[in-house]
Structure 1
Amino acid sequence: MSMHQWSDYSTGERIKALRGTEITQDALAGMTGLSIATIQAAEQDKRLSLPTLLKITAALGVDTAVTLGQQPPRRSLQQDDRAMLKNLSHAVHDTAAGITHTTAPPPLTDLEKIEKRAWELYWQGRYAEVGTISVPLLRAAAARLHAQPTGEQARAWGLVADAYRLCGYVANLMGMRDLAYAAIGHAQQAAERAGDGLRQALVASGRSWVYLRDARLRDALELAERSATDIEPLFSKATPEQLTVYGAHINFAAVVASRMGNADRASDYLSQSHATGARLGREMRAHGTLFGPVTATTQAVGVNLSLGQAGKALALVNSIHDVTSLSEAAQNRYQLDKALALADAKMWDASLDTLEAAVRAAPHWARHQALPQVIVSKIGRASTVRLRRVAKLIGANPIV
């Protein structure tokens, strides 16, 4: 792997790297109101005043500390991603402070259609688009809430909770952990005001996921278990919606337990997951989550890989023949788990075939995943021309 650290580069080199191929020097000059000569001087480390630094940093959508090399940029974030996240942050914090910009909010039915579209994009792995939609959705939902008559606000509170949850999910996927915590916290308050037990459980599960990505594994497992227990239904009376949400919670608890290396706990949750999936009989969607028998089986592949049980994972892979009922993002994630299982079994060619197909099928989704780099590093010394090609696709360097 490359030995260069972000701090090893000069400030000018970092500006050029942040500008990337998407923004020309001429375009950056226009965005900052500076001359092209000033931009060129900054990138060549010839001249960079504080006002110029601040203007360039703001235009690039990064923190000054990133430009100065004090902290690295977030992985895989392009200029459009950074601009979207900045708008997302403004929407979350403004709305929480009661600041709304929508004078005539749309009806709840219209906003719920927009929310449905946002979740469809989310399950397609189009996270930047989800973030872009979530900004006006959250602002409009908050405005709609304020316009609702007293005693008729529960539905609007539920919509606000869902909009905050969408914002939190996008922020978490893109490494904006502080924003993810803030959005999930506001979602929790809104879900409580909505008086909807399923929504409250989903928000708790979302917070558990933020904990997982923040390496707070014990907190993640405790919260995942508690939220699953809170909504555990009686199978004889449970609705498909209840089973879908419960199954998703149990599945996630299995994932967290496996990350902690607790095989017995993970196995117990997987058993409950399979039972819930069998009860449903098919893949179902509810409140922005998806679950069913295929989800239960494909998630078990990743759980076994986390536990170091590559043989079990590969056996499951060989038993799975059709994943078209899954969302696009779930299908892509399964393909990465499959590629990792094949790599663990030293089936290098099959692993590379699977990985390359997944990355080419969903390049925008793949940019926000860490697993492709893990797979390439495992294949590592079996370097081939194809390995180099796949490594280039995901922005990694094969070990040779």
Structure 2
Amino acid sequence: MTPKPPTEQTIGQKLKRHRKAARLTQERLAERAGGLSVETVRKLEQGVRRSASLPTLHALARALNVPTSTLIGDATEAAARAEPDHRPLSLAAIRRVIAPVLGLDGAMLNTPAGDPPTLDVLTGRLRTVDRSYQRNDYAAALAALPPLLADVQAAVDVAADRNQPAAHALLARTRHLTGNLLIQLRAGDLAQTALAGALDAARQSGDQVVAATVIQGMCWLLMRQGRLVEAAELATTTADQIEPKFSRATPGQLAAWGWLLVGGAAAYARDNQPGVAADLVDAAQAAAVRIGERAPEPGHLMMVGGFDAGRVQMARVENAAVAGDPGRVLDLSRVVPAGPTPVGSSWQRHRLDVAWAHAQRRQHHEATEVLVELRHLAPAWLRQQRYARDIVDVIADGRRRAMTEDLADLAQVVGYVP
């Protein structure tokens, strides 16, 4: 009889083991984790809850003085029970082009008829979708991407040899944007398929900058999946491979390198390695300064225009929030340029860090004001942010009176249930 392979410990089992090794009670651990509810610790260890957010795990890891990744365990039961709750969107149209049905001969079913549009026309359509995405108009992007993906794939299939690199680069960029959108919509497995296809197309294009920006999307997805060690290693290894010579590097090369460093810093910060994170942000700052000295090339890649000194400062703020230092978050945020910025989701994420810092300091009115600002600016984005729900929880728990109308509206938007 073949022995069963050992099963991975759950988050709760790992947490209990490290807590006992540190000789802490559940109450003391909760206190050291920044006032985390002892009920949260108890439910995790008892298996009542099978999952926890990365900020919660990071707070526990800081209290135990261990890497966050050591607490991440088997959460298959949590996935089966849809924990935490989520609101799935209809992604059937994107699924058909990202993961198409193939016949016995390997041919795709329902391929577009006729000649595809030119690469210039398709590039213009991609820029339009990108603008919708950056404006947080996910409904428009979700509607436009499936036919665009199908047309770009058709253009790759019929491109002459001399046009193959440009066609594959366009396919990589289109699939990359699709992957980013799917990450925002918390469709992680489908996003991974999109980004894997983007990376394959980028390799065939021979464009290192395109490939590097796709890798940054992969790192973001890995962090969303709790795969912090892999995200950090992928970001830093790729950054080492493409490190530009500052004397002759293009803004695109500098930005691609800088985005990877910022992504690696985010992963290391969440894995309780703030020193490494700070070093990477310092290196990214050098790239941002160099870009600021040069005019950007026309028709730059998506994300290139969004990498600058302001984005690097947002990374410093984010790392302070991950470290649980609200005072430093507010100090550093004072020199972040007013937004929104070209990469809207980055600035919005930064504003959540500011709201978190206000909430931690019991400045509930200021925290609510920031969230109300985001509700007006980016409601579709805000609905997808578990971080926003956690902040509303802190504000609601800290108030002595009933919720204000604004806070009650926010609670409904982010799905907070008292």
Q: TM-score range by the shorter chain?
A: 0.7 to 0.9
CA contact (8 A) 1:173 1:368 kept: yes
Residue correspondence of structure 1 range 255-334 to structure 2 within 5 A:
255-281=266-292, 286-289=300-303, 290-320=306-336, 322-334=338-350
CA contact (8 A) 2:216 2:259 kept: no
Pair 1:76–1:207, CA change in 2 (3 A):
same
Instruction: Name the residue aligned to 1:20.
Output: none
Write the deviation string for residues 31-76 of structure 1: whole angstroms up to 9, x where unpaired: xxxxxxxxxxxxxxxxxxxxxxxxxxxxxxxxxxxxxx96479624
Instruction: Name the residue aligned to 1:390.
Output: 410
**1:385 partner amino acid:** M
Once the 2 structures are TM-superposed, how far is the Cα of residue 127 of structure 1 from its aligned partner?
A: 2.7
Instruction: Name the residue aligned to 1:231.
Output: 242
Pair 1:233–1:297, CA change in 2 (3 A):
same
Distance 1:76 1:255 in 2: 26
Write the deviation string for residues 112-158 of structure 1: whole angstroms up to 9, x where unpaired: 11111122222222233223222111100111111112343111111
Instruction: Name the residue aligned to 2:95.
Output: 89
Residue correspondence of structure 1 range 2-21 to structure 2 within 5 A:
none
| RMSD of aligned Cα (Å) | 2.5
Percent of paired sites with the same residue: 26
Once the 2 structures are TM-superposed, how far is the Cα of residue 227 of structure 1 from its aligned partner?
A: 1.6
Give me the TM-score of the superposition, normalised by structure 1: 0.76
CA contact (8 A) 1:168 1:181 kept: yes
Once the 2 structures are TM-superposed, how far is the Cα of residue 111 of structure 1 from its aligned partner?
A: 0.3
Unaligned 5+ segments in structure 1 are 2-68
CA contact (8 A) 1:245 1:286 kept: no
Pair 1:131–1:245, CA change in 2 (3 A):
same
CA contact (8 A) 1:301 1:337 kept: yes
Distance 1:73 1:374 in 2: 12
Distance 2:153 2:314 in 1: 37
Once the 2 structures are TM-superposed, how far is the Cα of residue 325 of structure 1 from its aligned partner?
A: 4.3
CA contact (8 A) 1:254 1:266 kept: yes
Once the 2 structures are TM-superposed, how far is the Cα of residue 395 of structure 1 from its aligned partner?
A: 2.2
**2:318 partner amino acid:** G
- SS of the residue aligned with 1:297? helix
- SS of the residue aligned with 2:192? helix
Distance 2:113 2:236 in 1: 39
Q: Quick check: 1:119 aligned with 2:130?
A: yes
Pair 1:345–1:321, CA change in 2 (3 A):
farther
Once the 2 structures are TM-superposed, how far is the Cα of residue 194 of structure 1 from its aligned partner?
A: 0.7
Residue correspondence of structure 1 range 41-52 to structure 2 within 5 A:
none
Count matched residues. 327
CA contact (8 A) 1:76 1:367 kept: no
The match for 1:254 among 257, 265, 269 is: 265
The match for 2:395 among 364, 369, 379 is: 379
Once the 2 structures are TM-superposed, how far is the Cα of residue 380 of structure 1 from its aligned partner?
A: 3.1
Once the 2 structures are TM-superposed, how far is the Cα of residue 299 of structure 1 from its aligned partner?
A: 2.4
Distance 2:98 2:413 in 1: 33
Once the 2 structures are TM-superposed, how far is the Cα of residue 338 of structure 1 from its aligned partner?
A: 1.0
Give me the TM-score of the superposition, normalised by structure 2: 0.73
- SS of the residue aligned with 2:397? coil
CA contact (8 A) 2:184 2:381 kept: no
Unaligned 5+ segments in structure 2 are 1-36, 38-79
Once the 2 structures are TM-superposed, how far is the Cα of residue 214 of structure 1 from its aligned partner?
A: 0.9
Distance 1:341 1:115 in 2: 37
CA contact (8 A) 2:352 2:370 kept: yes
Q: Quick check: 1:128 aligned with 2:128?
A: no
Which stretch has the larger CA shift, 378-387 or 321-330?
321-330
- SS of the residue aligned with 1:104? coil
Instruction: Name the residue aligned to 1:40.
Output: none
